[in-house]
Amino acid sequence: YYINTFNCEVVSDNLFFVSSDMNLVLKYSLSKDEVILLPPPKGNMFEMGLYGNVAAFDGCVYLVPFNYGNIWKYGGENGWEEIPVPGSANKRRFLGAVLVEHYIYLLGFGRKEIYKFNILTYQITELNINNKLEVSEIGDEGFLGSDYEIIDGRIFVPVMCANKILEIVPETDSINVINVPSRSNGYSGIIYDGDGFWLSPRKGRYFVHYLLNGKIEEYELPNEYKSDEMYL
């Protein structure tokens, strides 16, 4: 049986994987080269996509909810610990998780939302997304994915349903919007090269290089990439 996952995280000598097919958490020991199935948190064993991401801090693992309502913590004395997330629980909630010091930024996938989770106090607050951030219907494209870059302490996240990048400033939790027009529709991946950002399309056939001086370069993908298909 092949187990698919969204993301994984390293804790000391172990890799933690969360299955996207069912309610399973796996630990792979790098030194022993063995896989251990952990006792899963409560819930339907066969429900798909419960957790969109996994983050680690101070020896503990945190499961970020996708088709589930709350965060799960593993690694303390009590085994699994459930941490409530405010707001309306919905399907396809968070796919991205960015760890900055002792905070995890939860990036909304199915809805235009970003939450900040304080690992030490369990406080969860919602960031105010600039009202100027106008996006079309999020639909299947999603709002924010799992890819990001951290440059000089600032988080840069591509918007998947619009040709924009969000700049999150952790010091103030303010959000700036960078417009990156192109012939593609939204961006799924981001890489910083010192001069600017390379952006892979969520839909479309153009790979975009956005330079910090405002110049935009487009590179057409090979013919097998279709403009109406989505790519991660």
pTM of the model: 0.93
Distance (Å, rounded) from C-alpha 78 to C-alpha 202? 41
Average pLDDT of the chain is: 91
pLDDT tens digits, one per residue of 110-159: 999 999 999 999 999 999 987 768 777 888 899 999 999 999 999 999 99
| pLDDT, mean of residues 176-202 | 96
pLDDT the model gives residue 75: 83
In three-state secondary structure terms, 141 is helix
* 61: phi then psi, degrees, rounded to nearest 5: -110, 140
**pLDDT tens per residue across span 80-102:** 999 999 986 768 999 999 999 99
Task: Compute φ and ψ for 21, nearest 5 degrees.
Answer: -95, -30
Short-list 133, 111, 189, 117, CA closest to 156: 189
